[in-house]
């Protein structure tokens, strides 16, 4: 098998907020460096940063403070976040939003006095989510892309899929990445001095899910095979309000943003009862995990809408106001035949964000020298729950940090490293496996995985369900390895891409199930009916998973409370300005 060879100083996998920020910062640090971005889709058109609707959390306005933002993030994460990462997030978010506006030209919505407008987002003690209407991600990615296109020295490999992280011959550092050019079916090995993993997680193995179709947990599957440690893998965030538009449309599962509940939207069950009061005193403004479980309980009890979910109602806030404030959402619902402003829209919890990821330090370094990680591929920033608005802050903050740090790392660790050719050959063969098998029913296997994860490893879990989910995942992957893709032409062979997606999803699903079995308590996004209590926060532990000799080993490590311990409050967290629920 021929593998084309390329070289670049810095190699960035993924073109979301993390990848693009890294490229710009690395270029600013040293314009002489060779920087290459590879992305599975089209630059600026793929990934989830573009899909960000609600906004970006930042403590900028009077009355708020970074300490309050930090406390909200730690308490929302149920004391599991790596506090150094969370502290870096809330501090750097201030600088990053100013950079987005003043250097990149983003224009976020403002209050009459000229300050940035902050939306109310669930689980937060201050309205700090800055936004551009409800299409914030498009504003951010478009401005980033303008800057990337203005720098022709940044090389772009579009529709290139990373297949494997390849270590150096001595195994002590990373040597580069094996890529598959989706357009031609050609394999390329990109040798790099520093590599950034920023493929954006993407829990698309659930029946209902929000992330873009190009995301299939490839980054975490590759990291696992390269021997890296993953943490918090049981922590899958379900957004409570995924659109439920029937089984025959890909729009089902896409998210209706948090601001709808923040602005005062009601959730009603099939009997038109506003049920969230039965589950939490904060009603619809409770955190995502609580609202998702409330909806799931209504579904399990059969109190559902015609398509099996619940309703969201906004009309009591005034249809004209809703149409103005949530234009993108209203248009999206209208496209699917629903009137969000004046009527009722069916919704269902939908897998939205992956809190788990590669263990890393606040400077984005990992345990494998030369490999950096940022954005949704990184673990530990959010612990058991990500606050709405902290996701895009995470990817832009840590992407920028990676771009600042990698040029210096290259100076300290100069030169390219020779790859382990045996692993390179084995990974290429692994990707080509389906061409040696008879064609089978890939779609049936994908549907089986979606159901197994939703039914057994989803919003509500228990030991028996998880064990049976694990058996199903193993069986699905075993069958996948016997199923071929039929067409021998490798150029734009989307069945082959689906096969590879499904393999990554099976590998990461197994780790999610095993970590969920290991965590015998309920924290944030992880809820077990057989262990409903959260456990003692002071002795909090997080799960770590590694692949050893082809098998996954899950262990636990103690959380280090480097800034604040459970029961303590940071100075400067007093609320000095009352927050209000307003719909202007």
Nearest alpha carbon to residue 208 among 178, 237, 169, 170: 237
Site for ligand FAD in 154-183 (CB under 6 A): 161-162
Q: Is there binding between residue 289 and ligand FAD (CB under 6 A)?
A: no
Site for ligand FAD in 179-198 (CB under 6 A): 198
Stretch in the footprint of ligand FAD (CB under 6 A) among 48-56, 284-292, 402-410, 448-456: 48-56
Q: Is there binding between residue 375 and ligand FAD (CB under 6 A)?
A: yes
Q: Is there binding between residue 54 and ligand FAD (CB under 6 A)?
A: yes
- Tell me the residue number closest to ligand FAD, measured at CB: 16
CA dihedral in degrees (180, 184, 189, 190; nearest 10)?
A: -90
The interface mask with ligand FAD, positions 239-278, x = CB under 6 A, is ----------------x-----------------------
Nearest alpha carbon to residue 124 among 288, 2, 246: 288
> How far apart are the C-alpha atoms of 395 and 289, rounded to whole Å?
22
The burial class, CB within 10 Å (0-12 / 13-18 / 19+), for 482 is exposed
Q: How far is CA 536 from CA 382, 385, 523, 558, in A?
A: 19, 17, 11, 12
Residue with tokens 């980033």: 144
- Clarify whether 5 is annotated catalytic: no
- Asked if 428 and 186 count as a contact pair (C-beta separation under 8 A), the reply is no
The one among 55, 240, 270, 349 contacting ligand FAD by CB under 6 A: 55
Q: Is there binding between residue 208 and ligand FAD (CB under 6 A)?
A: no
> How far apart are the C-alpha atoms of 64 and 68, rounded to whole Å?
7
Stretch in the footprint of ligand FAD (CB under 6 A) among 51-59, 359-367, 474-482, 489-497: 51-59
Q: Is there binding between residue 395 and ligand FAD (CB under 6 A)?
A: yes
Number of residues that bind ligand FAD (CB under 6 A): 41
- Asked if 540 and 559 count as a contact pair (C-beta separation under 8 A), the reply is yes
Q: Is there binding between residue 200 and ligand FAD (CB under 6 A)?
A: yes
Q: Is there binding between residue 46 and ligand FAD (CB under 6 A)?
A: yes
Q: Is there binding between residue 304 and ligand FAD (CB under 6 A)?
A: no
If the CB atoms of residues 48 and 295 are measured against ligand FAD, the closer one turns out to be 48
> How far apart are the C-alpha atoms of 474 and 514, rounded to whole Å?
12
As measured in angstroms, the least distance from the Cβ of 212 to ligand FAD is 6
Q: Mapping DSSP to helix (H, G, I), strand (E, B) and coil, where does residue 46 land?
A: coil
- Asked if 105 and 48 count as a contact pair (C-beta separation under 8 A), the reply is no
Q: Which of 239, 386, 446, 461 is catalytic?
A: 239
Q: Take residue 23 and report the two structure tokens written for it.
A: 């490229």
Stretch in the footprint of ligand FAD (CB under 6 A) among 11-19, 468-476, 478-486, 509-517: 11-19
Taken as a whole, the chain contains a residue count of: 584
- Asked if 104 and 113 count as a contact pair (C-beta separation under 8 A), the reply is no
Q: Is there binding between residue 11 and ligand FAD (CB under 6 A)?
A: no
As measured in angstroms, the least distance from the Cβ of 260 to ligand FAD is 12
As measured in angstroms, the least distance from the Cβ of 45 to ligand FAD is 9
As measured in angstroms, the least distance from the Cβ of 134 to ligand FAD is 8
3-state helix, strand, coil in the chain (%, to 5): 35, 20, 45
Stretch in the footprint of ligand FAD (CB under 6 A) among 1-9, 34-42, 76-84, 526-534: 34-42
Nearest alpha carbon to residue 141 among 200, 69, 183: 200
Site for ligand FAD in 314-353 (CB under 6 A): 353
Please name every residue paired with 236 in a beta bridge, in sequence order, or none if there are none. 354
The interface mask with ligand FAD, positions 471-510, x = CB under 6 A, is ----------------------------------------
As measured in angstroms, the least distance from the Cβ of 43 to ligand FAD is 8
- Asked if 129 and 121 count as a contact pair (C-beta separation under 8 A), the reply is yes
- Clarify whether 261 is annotated catalytic: yes
Q: Is there binding between residue 118 and ligand FAD (CB under 6 A)?
A: no
- Asked if 362 and 85 count as a contact pair (C-beta separation under 8 A), the reply is yes
> How far apart are the C-alpha atoms of 214 and 498, rounded to whole Å?
10
Stretch in the footprint of ligand FAD (CB under 6 A) among 9-17, 108-116, 471-479, 525-533: 9-17
As measured in angstroms, the least distance from the Cβ of 354 to ligand FAD is 9
As measured in angstroms, the least distance from the Cβ of 558 to ligand FAD is 27
The one among 197, 371, 392, 515 contacting ligand FAD by CB under 6 A: 392
The one among 8, 27, 36, 53 contacting ligand FAD by CB under 6 A: 53
> How far apart are the C-alpha atoms of 126 and 580, rounded to whole Å?
9
> How far apart are the C-alpha atoms of 15 and 28, rounded to whole Å?
17
As measured in angstroms, the least distance from the Cβ of 231 to ligand FAD is 16
Q: Is there binding between residue 40 and ligand FAD (CB under 6 A)?
A: yes
As measured in angstroms, the least distance from the Cβ of 243 to ligand FAD is 10
Site for ligand FAD in 88-107 (CB under 6 A): none
As measured in angstroms, the least distance from the Cβ of 470 to ligand FAD is 25
- Asked if 387 and 72 count as a contact pair (C-beta separation under 8 A), the reply is yes
Q: Take residue 277 and report the two structure tokens written for it.
A: 């009061």
Q: Take residue 353 and report the two structure tokens written for it.
A: 């964000």
DSSP state of 539: G
Stretch in the footprint of ligand FAD (CB under 6 A) among 187-195, 211-219, 241-249, 268-276: 211-219
As measured in angstroms, the least distance from the Cβ of 157 to ligand FAD is 9
Q: Is there binding between residue 370 and ligand FAD (CB under 6 A)?
A: no
Residues 6+ apart with CB under 8 A from 264: 284, 316, 317, 581, 583
Nearest alpha carbon to residue 315 among 294, 339, 291: 339
Please calculate the CA angle 569-570-572 and round it to the nearest 5 degrees.
120
If the CB atoms of residues 128 and 528 are measured against ligand FAD, the closer one turns out to be 128
> How far apart are the C-alpha atoms of 74 and 80, rounded to whole Å?
7
Q: Which of 50, 69, 207, 261 is catalytic?
A: 261
If the CB atoms of residues 67 and 139 are measured against ligand FAD, the closer one turns out to be 139
> How far apart are the C-alpha atoms of 400 and 60, rounded to whole Å?
19
What amino acid positions are annotated as catalytic residues?
239, 261
| List of residues contacting ligand FAD (CB under 6 A) | 13-19, 38-41, 46-49, 51-55, 161-162, 198-200, 210-211, 214-215, 218, 255, 353, 375-376, 388-393, 395
């Amino acid at each position: 098998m021929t593998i084309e060879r390329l070289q670049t100083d810095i190699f960035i996998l993924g073109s979301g907020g993390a990848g693009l920020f890294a490229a710009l910062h690395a270029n600013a640090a040293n314009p002489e460096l060779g920087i290459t971005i590879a992305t599975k889709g089209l630059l600026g058109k793929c990934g989830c940063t573009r899909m960000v609707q609600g906004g970006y959390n930042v403590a900028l306005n009077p009355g708020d403070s970074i300490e309050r933002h930090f406390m909200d993030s730690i308490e929302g994460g149920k004391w599991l976040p790596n506090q150094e990462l969370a502290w870096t997030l809330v501090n750097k978010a201030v600088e990053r939003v100013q950079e987005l506006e003043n250097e990149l030209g983003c224009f976020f919505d403002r209050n009459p006095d000229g300050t940035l407008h902050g939306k109310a987002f669930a689980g937060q003690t201050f309205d700090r989510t800055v936004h551009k209407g409800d299409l914030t991600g498009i504003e951010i990615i478009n401005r980033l892309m303008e800057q990337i296109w203005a720098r022709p020295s940044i090389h772009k490999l579009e529709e290139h899929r990373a297949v494997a992280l390849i270590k150096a011959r001595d195994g002590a550092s990373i040597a580069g990445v094996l890529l598959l050019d989706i357009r031609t079916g050609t394999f390329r090995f990109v040798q790099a001095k520093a590599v950034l993993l920023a493929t954006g997680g993407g829990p698309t193995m659930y029946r209902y899910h929000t992330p873009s179709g190009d995301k299939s947990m490839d980054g975490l599957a590759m990291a696992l095979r390269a021997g890296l440690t993953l943490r918090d893998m049981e922590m899958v965030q379900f957004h409570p309000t995924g659109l439920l538009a029937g089984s025959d449309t890909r729009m089902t599962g896409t998210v209706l943003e948090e601001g709808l509940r923040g602005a005062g939207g009601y959730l009603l069950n099939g009997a038109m009862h506003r049920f969230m009061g039965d589950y939490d005193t904060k009603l619809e403004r409770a955190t995502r995990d609580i609202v998702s479980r409330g909806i799931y309980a209504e579904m399990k009890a059969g109190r559902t809408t015609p398509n099996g979910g619940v309703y969201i109602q906004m009309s009591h806030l005034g249809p004209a106001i809703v149409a103005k404030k949530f234009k993108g959402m209203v248009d999206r619902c209208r496209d699917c035949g629903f009137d969000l402003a004046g009527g009722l829209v069916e919704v269902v919890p939908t897998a939205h964000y992956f809190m788990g990821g590669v263990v890393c330090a606040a400077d984005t370094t990992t345990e494998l020298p030369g490999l950096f990680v940022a954005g949704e591929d990184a673990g530990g920033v959010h612990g058991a729950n990500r606050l709405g608005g902290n996701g895009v802050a995470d990817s832009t903050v840590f992407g920028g940090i990676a771009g600042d740090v990698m040029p210096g790392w290259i100076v300290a660790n100069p030169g390219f490293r020779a790859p382990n050719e045996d692993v390179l050959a084995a990974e290429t063969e692994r990707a080509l496996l389906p061409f040696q098998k008879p064609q089978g029913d890939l779609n049936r296997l994908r549907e089986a995985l979606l159901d197994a994860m939703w039914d057994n490893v989803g919003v509500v879990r228990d030991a028996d369900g998880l064990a049976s989910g694990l058996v199903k995942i193993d069986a699905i992957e075993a069958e996948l390895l016997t199923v071929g893709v039929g067409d021998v032409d490798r150029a734009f062979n989307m069945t082959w891409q689906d096969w590879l997606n499904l393999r990554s999803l099976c590998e990461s699903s197994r780790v999610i199930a095993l970590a969920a079995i290991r965590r015998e308590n309920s924290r944030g996004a992880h809820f077990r009916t057989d262990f409903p209590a959260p456990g003692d926060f002071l002795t909090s532990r997080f799960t770590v998973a590694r692949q050893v000799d082809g098998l996954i080993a899950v262990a636990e490590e103690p959380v280090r409370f480097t800034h604040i311990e459970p029961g303590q409050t940071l100075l400067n967290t007093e609320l000095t300005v009352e927050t209000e629920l307003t719909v202007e």
